[in-house]
Structure formats: structure tokens, C-alpha cells
Structure 1
Amino acid sequence: MSEPQDQVERVRAGYNALSRSYRGDIADGPTQSRYATWLSRLRDHVPAGGHVLDLGCGNGIPAAQWLVDNGYRVTGVDVSDEMVSRARTLVPQAEFVRADLSDPEALDFPAGEAAAVVALYSLIHIPLRQQEPLMRRIAGWLRPGGLLVATVGHNAWQGREQGWLGSAVEMWWSHPDASTYRSWIEDAGLAVVHEELVPEGSSGHQLIVARRG
């Protein structure tokens, strides 16, 4: 199935409609634990007070909240108006911006601004043609020694799920396989320092941690 021209808007509409179905104000135990395990990798490379960009931050739970609780300065970005509105209430210590991650005119940061970039389950909603350029921009935002923590596709797939989360809403995803993401990350000038499969059903996602030299 080919990507629709308005895929980003469809993703935005889906998360606006099902913000609370997707994530409550408090993360469940397994989700909290899983995210904490991934984000704890920042502690060895990013000092307290470092600026972390949370791309696809949702309602700020649990990632932005964990980052704030562990002493980081956080800027969260999400395409969903509803998610950003909730994040500003739930994690008032962080800054949140409503923007399309794939649009360089809508979202940019100074070179070397970020001590880390977090992108959990967000890149996979962006049209394929826009993901590699975004990866290069992410690499540019990182300071030397800065860290990227991302969950991306394990197997290549693009398409939609009608009746997402048991509703009448559709949701779209687009992602290559993990080896393609690895190539994009390395071509952008980052070194992959950790990688693992995050199982989900019969497949899963790929956790990739990469560092700018």
C-alpha cells in the first residue's frame, strides 16, 4: 500500500482522537519499566542538566516525565495538538512544541544544541522519503558525544490499521527494516553502540542507541 500524501495529517488526527486511549495520565507498570530501561542508557553519557529533545513525545508520559525526574532539561515535540496540550499539564517542568517532525521549516534546532535525542515509536509514522533527511538533521542537533535513543521498525512495512485501538479511527505507519535504519544512522555520522529487538506479537521494533563522535 502506497503512502497517502496527507499521511502526517492522518497520524495527527488519529492521535488527537485517541490520545487518552493510547496513553493515560499514568503509564502502566510494564510500559514505565520498559521506557525507564531504555532511557537509563543516557546516564552514562549525558550529564544532569543536559538538553534532551523528545521527538514524538506524546502526552509526556512516561519518557519526558522520566527525563525531567532524572535532572534533564527537556523539549518535547509532537504532531498531535491534543497530546501536546496534555503534556504541558502532565509534565509542566518541560517545554512542549506542536510540530511536524518531518518538516524542516516547522522544526529546527541549533547545531550541537542537544545532549541527547529520544525518538520512541515516532519515526515510524513519518513518510519513508522524509525519514533519512530527518536522521541527518537529528545528527546535526546532537553535540559531540551526544546520544540518540530510538525505537524503529524491525521489519520493513508500510500501511494502515483501520479500527485502531478498537475504534473507528485509522492509523498509518511507514518504516524500512532495522538494517536500513542502521545505515541511515551511520551515514549521518553516528556510531551505533547498542541494538536489540523489542518483541511485539509475531515481530517487534528495534531499539537503537547511537552516539555522535
Structure 2
Amino acid sequence: MTSPTARMVAAGYDRLADAYLDRFGLSAVRQRWLNRLVAALPRKGSRVLDLGCGAGIPVARDLALLGHDVVGIDGSAEQIARARRNVPTANFTVADMTGIGFNAESFDAVCAFYSITHVPAADQPGLIARIARWLRPGGVFVASLGAGPAGDWTGEWMGTEMFFGHAGEAASLSQLRDAGFVLRESGVELQDNEDVAFLWIAAIKPQG
């Protein structure tokens, strides 16, 4: 069952479907981390899960254009409708990322750009552990997580009610290690398209 928080986030992004892409569709910071993800993929046709895919631009689109098998998940039906139009070769599903299940070792990579920060801090360790299970050995996880004071926040954002959650940088890195990930890169970076910073991470699920 979808949580009230996830329903709030989905409803907010339904209302913001076009405005969000207009406002945040371009980011040099996100592009750098997407490039790191692409460089880590083992082959053309790698299977990649895009958690919080939004309208599919630019992440799912760029991955699909490179010949990868992209699966996108988002709680917003309006965003998924746009993603299906924008990236017809990818597979998109309306779902809460904290509730969806995939078989173990289903993906070569998982990315989550600006999406885990919409999950309550208390639910983030469980989600990270599931991401680790979904990845094949040697698989890569690239994501933006919250930076700054830990906690959950609900309020007005871009004219709609929205929720954000953050476990704290030290706690987030600890959760990744607890899930079995080995950090390849991590760092707090200020966005180039808004006055906010994220903890960016690239982590590997070890072989064997």
C-alpha cells in the first residue's frame, strides 16, 4: 500500500509535471554524475533502473539512446505518461519506489537523481538495502542524497505541497556501507540550477 507521504509527492509531481522539467531539465552537476554512471556500465544493452525517472529527460532518454535497457519508476502518473512519450524504447511503471519489488540481481546499474530525498529518512536504509539486492555483482549505484541538517520536511514547494527527507551525510554513507556497497566516489555539490546542495554518491556492489 502506498504511504500518505508517497501519495503527497506523487500528487505534487502530477501538478508540476511540465513546470518541473522546464525548471530543472538542465543540470551540469547531474550530467557529470550521469556520465560517471554511463562510464561504469559493462556493455551496450546494460539493464538500468531509473528510480524517480520523472518525464524521462535527460536520464532515461540518454541511457536509451546509448542502447541500454532502461526501466523507469515514478510515483507520478503524469510524469510517467510524459516519459513514455519522450522515451518510447524504455519501460516505465507508476510505482512507489519504497514498495516495488524486483528479483535479486536484476540490474547492472541503478540511478536515483533527486528522488530518494522524497523518501522519509526512516525508510531510506531499507530502500538502499533493496537497491543492493536488485544489483548484479559489480553493479553500480549512482544517486543524489540529502545534504545539510537531517530530518523530514513538508511544506510549499513550487506552488504545491511537497515532502523531503534527509538522513544526514554521515548516516547516508553508513547506510550504503551497511547494505554492502563500496563507495567509489562521494561529495557534496551545490546545484547549478538552484541554491541547494546534494550528497552525490557512486557505489559498487562487490563481486562475490
Q: Could you tell me the TM-score, scaled by structure 1's length?
A: 0.88
Distance 2:129 2:174 in 1: 12
Q: Which residue of structure 2 lines up, in the alignment, with residue 19 of structure 1?
A: 17
Distance 1:112 1:129 in 2: 25
Q: Judging changes above 3 Å, is the alpha-carbon distance between structure 1 residues 7 and 70 closer, same or farther for their aligned structure 2 residues? A: same
Distance 1:134 1:19 in 2: 24
Q: Which residue of structure 2 lines up, in the alignment, with residue 129 of structure 1?
A: 122
Q: Which residue of structure 2 lines up, in the alignment, with residue 38 of structure 1?
A: 33
Q: CA RMSD in A?
A: 1.8
Is this contact kept in 2: 1:58–1:78, CA < 8 A? yes
Is this contact kept in 1: 2:128–2:176, CA < 8 A? yes
Q: Which residue of structure 2 lines up, in the alignment, with residue 157 of structure 1?
A: 151
Q: Structure 2 matches for 1:39-54, cutoff 5 A? A: 39-46=34-41, 47-54=43-50
Distance 2:24 2:178 in 1: 38
What residue ranges of structure 2 are gaps of 5+ in the alignment? Answer: none
Distance 1:42 1:63 in 2: 10
Quote how far apart the aligned CAs of 1:81 are: 0.6
Quote how far apart the aligned CAs of 1:45 are: 2.6
Distance 1:148 1:196 in 2: 14
Percent sequence identity is 36
Aligned residues: 200
Q: Which residue of structure 1 lines up, in the alignment, with residue 204 of structure 2?
A: 211
State yes or no: 1:173 paired with 2:164. Answer: yes
Query: Residue by residue, what CA displacement relative to the aligned partner does 1:157-206 show, whole Å, maximum 9, x if unpaired?
Result: 321231x22x2x11110111111111111100110110121214665111
The aligned amino acid for 2:122 is R
Distance 1:77 1:66 in 2: 16
Q: Could you tell me the TM-score, scaled by structure 2's length?
A: 0.90
Q: Judging changes above 3 Å, is the alpha-carbon distance between structure 1 residues 135 and 192 closer, same or farther for their aligned structure 2 residues? A: same
Distance 1:101 1:95 in 2: 15
Q: Which residue of structure 1 lines up, in the alignment, with residue 86 of structure 2?
A: 90
